[in-house]
Structure 1
Amino acid sequence: MWISKIELTDFKSYQHQVFNFPVPSEAGKNIILIGGMNGYGKTSLLQAIYLGLYGKEAITYLARAGLGDADNYHKFLEKALHKDALREYGSIMSVLIQFNTNINHGFQVKRTWHFNHKGQYQRGTEHVDLLRILDGLQEPLQSDSLEEILEQQFVPAHIAPFFFFDGEKINELATQNRPEQIKEGMENLLGIVLLRNLKQTLHHYQINTSKNIKKIDEEKLLAQNKELSQKEELLKSLQKEKSKFERGLERLTLHRTELTNRIASLGGGAKVTDIKQITDEQKRLEKQRDECQKNLDDLLVTEIPFQLVGQELIDSYRQQISGEIKKLAWEAKNTDLKNNKDEFLRRFAKTKTPEMNPALTESQQQSLMLRLEKVWQNMFSPLPKDCATETIHHYIQRENRQKLLQRLKHIDSTNYDLIRLVKQRDLLDNQIEALKNRYAKIESIDKDGRLESLKTELQKTQKEIDEKQKTLGKVEREITALRTAVNQLNATYKQQFSKFVQAQPMLSKVANAHQIEKLIDDLIPKLYPLKQKQLTTAISETYHKLSHKQQIAEVKIDDTGNVTRLNQDGTLIGVEQSAGENQIFATALLAGLANVSGLKAPLIVDTPLGRLDSVHRDNILNFWVSDKQRQVILLSQDKEIDVFYYYKFKNSIAKTYLLEHQELGHHFGKTVAIEDKYFFSEGVQGHKQ
């Protein structure tokens, strides 16, 4: 398997960059060499691989791989966003990684993060696009299957630090806390981390499930059932009583309506039921009629002359007044302009510059002045559109003409006011006449007592209705309260009964979870010996290949992560190791863990040669080159893989990139990867010569 493509967009110093890597060839070209000075984006590229593949889970493993302390995922993302990516509408950062399992099959993972205009990460916007690539065709997959694909087809997160790491930093971690680092590596290799996560999940399951399981009292459950049945019977009885009251109330309501109609037919309306009410209503309406008549009289006095004139004459008069207003305005403007004419002609005649050559004769001067006079006159004719041709109504003062025009426009609405007032007066007259007729009818009918008898019966019926409504309301409240009690009791009973049914199976599941938890506790200590010997052998063999000191014959590791070194006769030795030797041991440790894992995953190393001397550099490069089928991506400074090592291992180099920095202003820039270039490309050619 190998990484075939990496694409970064607005990630750290990369605005947009694509890396394409070939398949490790049978000819032995398995090294991808990416050169860059400090701060040019080598470590950022390694961090991008972690984030692109593992997302938030990568934070746990970045420190283990020597890639810094990144305990806050959101802050890490905000710092990773390229500063030139900030935009008013927000920004998007993405990492795309494509890895192949063979030449025809692979997967592509694109992880995208969204930020607001201030560069703040928008939580919940992380999105993963996952594709399967088979024979050049792309098939979208569900993003939640990524973890399983990485587990089965590539490198799961918990063992990624064995393959992707900072060569210089990883030895510091091993030096500071070597037993813990070794034990942690063994646990990741054996999957103990996953077992511990499972144990914790089972423990929480037991606690949460046990809280929900309560001992159910069967006798109490039967008592609840009996109480529920009794209340349901009482509820049915009250509902029957309610229906009985509703039918009686319906009959009384119909009788009340019949009495009301009979009283109304005898002149005893629902609003006016006696002589006093009729007379009061009549006085009120007569007062309204008098006010309406007064308004009508006032309108007739002021408006009737205009209403007697024909509409055609009014329109003509309105048009003439409007035209005269415009004509007078035009004449006033012309008068103001004509006052300046003589002064204009006088100054024109006196002006001697520019000189005319030849000079105008007296006859020509007179013709010119006459022409100017004619042009001036033409400026004031013809009259503008809508102006009156003559002023007929001289007697109307200028300031009153607009008022008159407004008054003429009001004549049309006056017609509607007259019609409205006449209709209102007629309506009031009809209402007054109806009251007079009702007064006469009541006065004649009420003398025999029929109306009073009907009123008495209506009052009695209304009293019965009020009493029944009061009783019905009481019954309805009892029903509401009882129904609430029945619903609550029913819900409680169903809940308790359900728990009663489920209690035994749930208790059984809790017991099973507890047994599995105990099994994990027993299993973990027994797992270490399964790989301990194999790991010890792998680390020892790798250490011998990498180290130039051969006094250490064997490296042993116990199940606590403690390391002991033995010489040829099995004697324990202690060696004060240099920084370079620490890096060699850390590299051997990771190589051993990677070897025991059985994965042929790519190896990605930042600062691969760090503090190593020339012998150790030869050894470690030879070690990486020796596995021809494993892709090895080295992120190197110019002083690590220099011109000598570049030339020495050139036949194993499949691809090169050189990271360069370009300034963008505002104290930041971007990284550009130049394909098929390295620090000493020209130097190597010179060396060949």
Structure 2
Amino acid sequence: MIFHRIVLNNILSYKGEKTFDLVQSKPDKRRLVLVLGRNGFGKTSLLNAIKLLFLGSDDKGLRGGMTRGTYVLGDEDSRWSGIMNSQARREDETTCSVRIEIGPPEKVEFIAQRSWNLEGDSFGLENETLEVEVDGRTFAGEAAETRLDEILPRELVPFFFFDGEEIRHLAEASDIHRADAMERLLSLSFINGVEGELDGLIKAWRREELPEEVQAKIAAKEGDLETHEKLIEAINKKATSLISQRDELKETAESIYHKMDSLRKSGSLFDTASLDRQISELESELQREQDRLAYALAADAPLLANPGLVRACLDPLRSLVDQKSKAAESTLTTLYEVLPSRLFDEPPQPRTNLSDDQKRFFQNKLKSILDTFGLHDEDTDSIIEGLDLIRSRSLLDQFLGINNSIKAIREERARQLKEISRKKMQLEDKRAERRESQYGSSEAAGQYKQLETESADVHQQIGKLEAEISGKNEHRQLKTDEIQDIEKHIKELERQVCDAGKAGKRLSIAIGLKKSFEEYRRQRREAKRKKIEETINTHFKCLMSGHRLIDEIKVDNDFYLTFFDRSGNQIGHSTISHGMRQLAVTAMLWALKDVSGKSLPIIVDTPLARIDRENQENLLLNYYPNAAEQVLILATDSEIDKRKFELIISQVDRVYRLDNPDGQTTSPVQISGTDYQSISWEAVING
């Protein structure tokens, strides 16, 4: 498979429709396409445009922390102009697109075009479309995405279109879908489909053996199961939408944070320690005032708000106190007369007689103790009448005090509120002064304050979405548990079969076949893994000269790389140089191409990054001419200089030079001729 054409229209640095014509002149001999240009001339734009076609603008790796809308439309504050060519946008162009034509060297079999309609200032899913044409049939929407994914699973896009400086990360990058994608690339996934079909047959044949009443029960349970699964699907759809909204808000929050950080860093540097101390002192004073007012209001606010009720309570309280005083006086008089004599004169008596002075002392003490206590009336339904004398007097005193000073108390509380308001204003003024001193101008300080407000609002929205997502997760888990119960019940019903019956033989065959396919897939997968591991090590030794820190590379079941030295000790990724990791992953890409038997075109930007001279030559002579049926090398004149150009010229099919006089309008210029061995390096560089 090769690219026959790549057509870019108003995308990134390419203004208008620009075509790379890549039909090979000598497919068996010349597989390299050189795209040469200075930094900023459009090489990375070409790479990213192809990634955009395969991944779409929703891919977070492409967006680099920006929201989808910001990535597509641009953001002046972040100096990102969006995916549409900025000059075309200024000229009121509204569409941009990427188109590829792929197939074997002799014909085009697959055409894909992803387009963006950017009318207005907002971006929605409907503004991005994908169309795919396969053998004359046109697909759109999800069907088009499926067809595109069949050509190259999106999880494997970084293995075929990559920046040489970043490729080393593929050695350790985690992706839960990588193993499945690798199985698809290695033509193992069809076995999963066969196993699925056999599962369906086994299930159906087992059912045929069951009595009709059991089958009816199972059918009812399966109806419940289908209802639950649809509900979970709806929950997942809603949760996915909520998560997408939350992630976009998080990216917005991150963008706001960077803007705030930029204001902080760009502001004049003043000594703000004194202002910080003043702010801290004001915050402490304000907190103390608020605490004092809160404590006071908790006690007297109801009474201050109802002065009429306070006055209405005074007369009943006076009557109550007078009544209880008279009753207490009578009772206490009787106690004073009776209690001392009964206490000291009536038996039983202590063994040691008290003296008259001791008796008088205890009599007086007893009277003084009695004087301090009020006396309770009998039980009553009235709250006030149920109070004893002491509490009645205390309540009356409080109400009299409040009634006499209610105006003064109100004025004091109002004064406290004004003082709190004054301190709040002082604090806000000091904070504004602090911001202005930090950011160098009142305008910058105002921008920072506005960003703080926006940040608080965004984080509040994130909090609400997190709560909704949590609720959806709980609901999903509840329904998942119910599904497990239903499935368990169905299995219990299926176990009620009494004999093998008419389906016994075919059922036995199907189960045996399924086990055979499972074992076949396991063996094929293991054989492919071992072959990839063996091929990686062969290619790595071909690419890596003069260094044997890495003696062996092993591939685990999920197709991740582990490195070992000559003693068999595992080598940590952090101890391996960037260049060496780049060569290891390059060896893996080479091995995948060899073992899978699939030949997809490869595009590599910065092809020789961090690689020393000797190993650069190994890459140019050994890997790139054999990496695929077609390899597009995007390089500067310092990466592919005259010496390196002459090394690979016999493998080169086409050469493009990128012109970009203003930094915004890249044009690919094909160097004329088909025999590049007759063209000087100077002609290639200078046109």
Name the TM-score, length of structure 2 as normaliser. 0.43
Name the TM-score, length of structure 1 as normaliser. 0.43
Give 1 or 2 for the bigger CA radius of gyration: 1
